[in-house]
Structure 1
Amino acid sequence: MPDSASQSFKPLLDRELNVRTVSQLDDVAFRPLREVVNHATRAFTRCWHNAPSSKEDTDVPLAPFALYRQSIQLADGIEVALSHSCVEAAIPMLRSLFETGLGLAYILEQKSTFRARALACLCGDTFRRLDYWETVRSDEVTPDFAAQVEQEFIDEQLVPQIETLRAALGKPHMKEVVEAYEERQKRRQYPPWYSLVDEDLTSLRKLAERLGSTDMYLLGYSRWSGVVHGTTVAEPFSLLDDGRVSVSPLRHAEQLCSIAARALDFLASATVDMLGWFRPAEELQTAAWLESEVVPALDRLQETRVKINPTMKHDW
């Protein structure tokens, strides 16, 4: 028999009850999201076979495929979290999924700028990784940390990483975008990669506006930021009729269906973008998939309300 002192305080966190409760939503929320993830993994493979393969274009497909892979990974993580009723904990992943999808949509927006945008994304990522490795042995870290960094690590891992990243930025086809990054860097240490092609895209909000996602940015992304940055303070609490304060338990499932719907929608959109670019011959199949699988699943999620029993909110 487990020691009660080692158990969670059930009114605040009852894992078993939460999992049993949300398991009733498998057909509505979890299975459709899993199926969209599964579909995306197959789409990824088919798109990969149609990616540019010439020596000059080796780096070009990296950005869209990296962003698409990240989208699949995030949606999969959200499904796992939701199926265990970790609803609020899934919000940072949902926020990242939205941002990743915007980047992918921007790269695939038009053929004339595909190459420049893909390389801009790769350039921004390479500069960030280079900055990380250089920071490890810079005077920005504390002396205590610097003293723990072994010379063997510097020689065998840190220096080779820095040399590899610098070589990647030094490739001839990266020259123009690297110059653009360094120019923007004079005004901002980490310029958004999408600003390297369009100078007016100085923020994610402007990118969202450009791609027709203003409402989602204002009403979704901005609100989710409070969870990500630790500034959501009052939301878990409510005032009871008698003046006492009640707090929502952990794994509170009220937002489960709305988060599942957003995740499903974001990944389905990313899949449509990728197939439209790399597998245009599948247009009819993609449209049929949306109509028969995605739209009905979204409709069911939007119609389903998770009702929270008032006794699940507690005053201690």
Structure 2
Amino acid sequence: MGKIKVVRNIENVDLVGLLDTLASTIDSQVDFGTTVIEMIIDNPRDEFIDSTLIVLLRDYLELLDGISVLVRQGCSEAAIPIIRATFEYYLSILYILQEESYKRALSYQVGTLKAKSRELNKTNVKGGGRKFKRTLEKNSYKVTFKGTDNTVKLTALRKLLNSEPFKEVNIEWDRVQRGMTVPPNWYSLYNGPGNIQKLADRLGVVAEYELLYRNWSSKIHGTDSFRNLSNRGLKQIRMPESIQLVCTWAMTWTHKITIELITLYKPTERAAYFIFYLGIRDIYKNVTSRKPLILFKE
């Protein structure tokens, strides 16, 4: 292959300025998103719906904040796994907001409790701990595992799942899981979509699933690394080729869920949001246009 030099510096001053502008725009969306969390807290509708949306939005904003950091440094390829995960949070929030919000919020919470129960049982010396220990013994280097007695915690979780308001949803979870070798997705309960593709279809965003989410999987699973080898050699590490794509969807999804949540919890603040939006509109339109923000040599 010959001598190859891997470059990781962005020396173009104009490009550095553009990246900073894009990152700052996403930063402002993160900041506004935190005020949306405050709106939910200050205008409660239902404790289970509210709490579920708050934690989902909080994690969504954390991922968005991470995208901002990577965009500022020109690390668009490294941002792809994060923007892909952001899409899943986006779908979860939209699905809860779509209809039957109470049941769907409880389904999400039961899914969380079930996952916690599985994790505790896996390391429980009186449960799955022995099997887990045998699994770790197959590791290429020694891993010491003694396990813990999680009986009390597991009993408390079972009691919680069999109490109101979780009892009905827990029964539905067990019904859906019957005959399955893996746990169901929380959104599959009550005749919900069986997988994320069907979830995207149910929400009317299946094109985003097919054209973005599915294609981004190669970055997650490490199956398409040869795309970073071109006629000019190895692409530099901080190569912002996907920066416009990443920013387009980060900004778009955030814009959509912000409007949805404000409309539900404090519609009088829609005017304040649109004043905010006017401040980023020109940048957003440039990013989402078909005109490339950056031209790259082949």
Q: Same fold (TM over 0.5)?
A: yes
Bigger shift: 38-47 or 160-169? 160-169
Matches within 5 A, 1:163-174: 163-174=155-166
Alignment pair present for 1:268 and 2:255: yes
Alignment-derived partner of residue 12 in structure 1: 6
Tell me the distance in 1 between the aligned counterparts of 2:11 and 2:199: 38
Tell me the distance in 1 between the aligned counterparts of 2:103 and 2:177: 18
Bigger shift: 225-234 or 213-222? 225-234
Bigger shift: 75-84 or 298-307? 298-307
Alignment-derived partner of residue 293 in structure 2: 305
Alignment-derived partner of residue 5 in structure 1: none
Alignment pair present for 1:105 and 2:94: yes
Alignment-derived partner of residue 250 in structure 1: 237
- Deviations 1:179-218, CA, capped at 9 Å, x for gaps: 111111124322111111334x111111111111011111
Tell me the distance in 2 between the aligned counterparts of 1:10 and 1:161: 55
- Deviations 1:52-107, CA, capped at 9 Å, x for gaps: 4xxxx543422211111111111000000111222111111101111111110110
Q: What root-mean-square deviation, in Å, do the aligned CA atoms of Structure 1 and Structure 2 show?
A: 2.6
Deviation at 1:142, TM superposition (A): 3.2
Counterpart selection for 1:127 from 102, 108, 114? 114
Alignment pair present for 1:191 and 2:191: no
Alignment-derived partner of residue 33 in structure 1: 26
Counterpart selection for 2:85 from 96, 99, 104? 96
Partner SS, residue 255 of structure 1? helix
Tell me the distance in 2 between the aligned counterparts of 1:18 and 1:37: 28
Which amino acid in 1 is paired with 2:239? H
Partner SS, residue 17 of structure 1? coil
Number of residue equivalences: 284
Tell me the distance in 1 between the aligned counterparts of 2:153 and 2:294: 49
Deviation at 1:163, TM superposition (A): 4.2
Partner SS, residue 141 of structure 1? helix
Tell me the distance in 2 between the aligned counterparts of 1:276 and 1:301: 25
Which amino acid in 2 is paired with 1:96? A
Which amino acid in 2 is paired with 1:305? L
Alignment-derived partner of residue 70 in structure 1: 59
Which amino acid in 2 is paired with 1:275? I
Tell me the distance in 2 between the aligned counterparts of 1:29 and 1:91: 16
Which amino acid in 1 is paired with 2:295? K
Alignment-derived partner of residue 211 in structure 2: 219
Bigger shift: 225-234 or 119-128? 225-234
Alignment-derived partner of residue 314 in structure 1: none
Gaps of 5+ in 2: 138-142
Q: Is the 8 A contact 2:10 2:16 kept in 1?
A: no
Which amino acid in 2 is paired with 1:297? I
Tell me the distance in 2 between the aligned counterparts of 1:166 and 1:181: 13
Alignment-derived partner of residue 140 in structure 2: none
Q: TM-score, normalization: structure 2? A: 0.85
Bigger shift: 299-308 or 43-52? 299-308
Alignment-derived partner of residue 167 in structure 2: 175
Tell me the distance in 2 between the aligned counterparts of 1:171 and 1:133: 20
Q: Report the CA distance shift for 1:253/1:172 in structure 2 as closer, same or farther (over 3 A).
A: same
Tell me the distance in 2 between the aligned counterparts of 1:45 and 1:19: 40
Alignment-derived partner of residue 42 in structure 1: 35
Partner SS, residue 307 of structure 1? coil
Determine what percentage of the aligned residue pairs are the same residue.
Answer: 23
Partner SS, residue 98 of structure 2? coil
Partner SS, residue 116 of structure 1? helix
Counterpart selection for 2:200 from 197, 208, 228? 208
Q: TM-score, normalization: structure 1? A: 0.80
Gaps of 5+ in 1: 1-8, 311-316
Alignment-derived partner of residue 223 in structure 2: 231
Which amino acid in 1 is paired with 2:286? R
